[in-house]
Structure 1
């Protein structure tokens, strides 16, 4: 099972995500004004989801193509024991607890202008 979160404001206007089997498990609106960059909205709509393992390729391709490239966005999700971080046009997949893989994905995000505080994703084993 794939599980993750999408910040809906991160999607390009006009983009669509059609992922077979994707189910929304939680939706929330959050004031994040204390942690956003000046080019990001101060309120985010968070969508937590689950999808079957065989939706992996569609999810990666869909997110990679739908994320707004010029506004410092990414999406991430769990795929078994792996953490998948999707940036516009670039994907990182590494084992939970692999500091080198995590650091590589975070460094790429920093180079893309994502605020450091937004690159603080939880990276523990799914069993913890």
Structure 2
């Protein structure tokens, strides 16, 4: 089974359109069409991303003798690939457009992908629902978040680990214990200083 067939089968199995997959991979819809028609091959970094999105290994994607139906257990690609079960600590949602280095996705296990209509420009944001066992994930996230203080575009990502909630901006990590209202109010006060509205702080716990 060729890579082209596997990409198409995995995309359809996840109820994704070519446009949606193209947005996540940061390529054109025509590129996805060419991959699936076996006219062109994805770059190595895109194959890694596809493996992470669909939770299959590089071997499964690249070896023609392996079909998707024959693989009983697969693991996500990238530096977060694991053998067997490993405790996943962090859980949250990352807007792909909020980071300036997509290599951060290598640290995440992506469980669901949604396109959120912004009502403006860009038309959609790509929401990646993830878990991760990367011990220094908050520090890694703080390196890649988009920041534009003058333009009021300070992006943040929120996620939790156990009973701790993390709000991470560029070079700034905030956290509070879930259920501790005083600590949460202090974090919200810091978020307001970063230009975040109260409506944007309606994150899940």
Q: Does the 8 A contact of 2:96 with 2:102 survive in 1? A: no
Deviating above 6 A after TM superposition, structure 1's stretches of 4 or more consecutive aligned residues are: none
Are 2:174 and 1:92 equivalent residues in the alignment?
A: yes
Q: Which runs of 5+ in 1 are unaligned?
A: 124-128
Aligned to 1:69: 147
User: Highest CA radius of gyration, 1 or 2?
Assistant: 2
Aligned to 1:126: none
Q: Which has the higher contact order (CA 8 A, sep 6+)?
A: 1
Write the deviation string for residues 36-75 of structure 1: whole angstroms up to 9, x where unpaired: 8xxx7452110010112xx131x11221010011122110
Q: Which runs of 5+ in 2 are unaligned?
A: 1-88
Are 2:118 and 1:32 equivalent residues in the alignment?
A: yes
Q: Which has the higher strand share?
A: 1
Q: Which has the higher helix share?
A: 2
Write the deviation string for residues 67-114 of structure 1: whole angstroms up to 9, x where unpaired: 011122110111111111111111112211111221122222211112
RMSD: 2.0
Q: Number of matched residues?
A: 113
Alignment of 1:1-128 (within 5 A): 1-12=89-100, 14=101, 16-17=103-104, 20=107, 22-33=108-119, 41-52=122-133, 55-57=134-136, 59-70=137-148, 71-123=153-205
Give me the whole-angstrom Cα distance separating, in 2, the residues matched to 1:56 and 1:108: 24
The 1:98–1:42 alpha-carbon spacing in structure 2 relative to 1, beyond 3 Å, is: farther
Q: Does the 8 A contact of 1:4 with 1:50 survive in 2? A: yes
TM-score by length of structure 1 reads: 0.77
TM-score by length of structure 2 reads: 0.50
Give me the whole-angstrom Cα distance separating, in 2, the residues matched to 1:42 and 1:116: 23
Give me the whole-angstrom Cα distance separating, in 2, the residues matched to 1:18 and 1:46: 12
The 1:42–1:8 alpha-carbon spacing in structure 2 relative to 1, beyond 3 Å, is: same
Give me the whole-angstrom Cα distance separating, in 1, the residues matched to 2:164 and 2:158: 11
